Amino acid sequence: MPEQDSAARAANFDEVNLGFTEELALLEASRCLQCKEPRCTQGCPVCVNIPKFLGLLSQGRIADAAQSLLEDNALPGVTGRVCPQETQCEARCVRAAKGRPVGIGHLERYVADWARTHRDQLSAAKAPATGRRVAVVGSGPAGLTAAGELVQHGHGVTIYEALHKPGGVLVYGIPEFRLPKKIVAQEVERLQELGVKIECNAVVGRTWTVPELREQFDAIFIANGAGLPVFMDVPGENLKGVYSANEYLTRINLMAAYQFPHSSTPVLHGHRVAVVGGGNVAMDSARTARRLGAAEAMIVYRRTRNELPARAEEVHHAEQEGVNFEFLTAPVEVIGNDKRWVTGLKCLRMKLGTPDASGRARPEPVPGSEFVLPCDVVVVAIGTRANPLLTATCPELKLNKHSYLIADENGMTNLPGVFAGGDIVRGAATVILAMGDGKRAAGAINNYLKPAAS
């Protein structure tokens, strides 16, 4: 996949991957062996019929390829950019055994981008109206996917979104250089054209409650994400210059703080930015800090490179853009000056010990290894936990011990007709797993709404 030069892109917010040309896309698609029992599709949480759309693409039948892809996946322009294909579809490609797998993610992106600019060549056929109405709580990947599926089945769909713009983590969390906001906006627009209604500035748990929605709708799909940021719980964490990754990225992505003062929301830029955590959100934060002009952006992670939860491509891009990695390092305190601005992060060196409950080696502190990493901004990217706003106003909903919603294999909660999926059920996970939940729950909701056989 052609990329923007790493030095140039470390200073701008334009997309890093430039996308395939038509010639390159057809060539790559023709590498698909059209397996009789395709394993790639089994690796896809939304079960995209990969050989079918690749076959059509290799024949140059791009509109048919797009039609096929969109039937399986409501947000292909998004997943083509942010899915961890290397552990899903591409990992199972038979070509991977002897060299390089088919570049399924890049091809998905190519077809999705073509579809977005050639909407007139695609059919927008959907099932006749059923007269049934479904409320979807949250317009992130799970909610948008479910909405897309449900509207295709002929149901009326209204999405309730707490923020002023739809997209959830796709607009507040994932940076412009990885997923341009224009693409999310166009995918949302396509759903609106299909008939999905979106009500922004509607916080379920405050503006509306689940019982209120239940009275107005025949079914509900709750996909409000796992919003609350987890902090480190170390001294100095409320000093000026400490952000949760949620706040840092929301200011920059949703509120366009990188354009301040032309936009209205500010963000501290930081000369040396320490990002605590090793997931995709940590990589996004560090790469964003570089783009805001940080001379140094560091990933502070308590395990080693091998345990980094981030996608390989994100780690690779971060390194190319000059992000430094402090492995086997655990913060114990944020240090500030007399005016309470951050000046450093006091850390301990760690060593890997015996595996813990998650099967990963447990990091253990090296005695006497305390040192201070000088920095003026700290971004805490160590995860999120369940937001209790919605569930507090619907106490009948059953929660697990981490306050996430409990849903059965169809995505239904303990309340009939109330379904749930995405991070509010599984804890912080990936866009595509949330979409898989949305798709599966939409199927279950469709069955639930079918008139009983008489």
Partner 1 sequence: MPFCKMHSILGRQQLSPNVTRLKVRASRIATIRQPGQFVIVRLAEDAERIPLTIADADPAAGTITLVIQSVGKSTRELVALKPGDAIRDIVGPLGHATEMIASGRALCIGGGVGTAVLHPIAQSLNRRGVHVTSIIGGRSREWVIFEEELRRLGEVVVCTDDGSHGRKGFVTDAAKDVLAMGGADIVYAVGPVPMMRAVANLTRPLGVRTIVSLNPVMIDGTGMCGGCRVTVGSKTRFACVDGPEFDGHQVNFEELMDRLTIYREFEQRATACADGGCRLEAAVAGRPAQ
Q: Enumerate binding residues for partner 1 (CB under 8 A).
A: 161-166, 172, 189, 192, 198-203, 205-207, 227-229, 231, 237-238, 240, 243-244, 246-247, 250-251, 255-256, 260-266, 268-271, 293, 339-341, 376, 387-389
What is residue 378's three-state secondary structure? strand
Nearer to partner 1, 62 or 390 (CB): 390
Min CB(199)–partner 1 separation in Å: 7
Nearer to partner 1, 240 or 398 (CB): 240
Nearer to partner 1, 23 or 233 (CB): 233
| Whole-number Cα distances in Å, 74 to 57, 271, 330, 405 | 18, 40, 40, 24
Place of tokens 């979409």: 435
For the chain, give the number of residues.
454
| Whole-number Cα distances in Å, 392 to 112, 173, 389, 396, 398 | 39, 25, 6, 9, 11
Nearer to partner 1, 166 or 277 (CB): 166
Place of tokens 């930081």: 270
Nearer to partner 1, 55 or 236 (CB): 236
Nearer to partner 1, 87 or 337 (CB): 337
| Whole-number Cα distances in Å, 126 to 203, 221, 312 | 30, 20, 38
Nearer to partner 1, 79 or 246 (CB): 246
Task: Check if the beta carbon of residue 334 is closer than 8 Å to that of residue 235.
Answer: yes
Min CB(224)–partner 1 separation in Å: 9
Min CB(206)–partner 1 separation in Å: 6
Min CB(188)–partner 1 separation in Å: 9
What does R_g of the chain's alpha carbons equal in angstroms?
23
State how far the Cα of 101 lies from the Cα of 111, in Å rounded to an integer: 18
Min CB(43)–partner 1 separation in Å: 31
Min CB(198)–partner 1 separation in Å: 5
Task: Check if the beta carbon of residue 428 is closer than 8 Å to that of residue 416.
Answer: no
Min CB(195)–partner 1 separation in Å: 11
Residue 5: both structure tokens together: 């030069």
Whether a cis peptide bond, with omega within 30° of 0, leads into 261 is yes
State how far the Cα of 140 lies from the Cα of 335, in Å rounded to an integer: 36
State how far the Cα of 415 lies from the Cα of 398, in Å rounded to an integer: 8
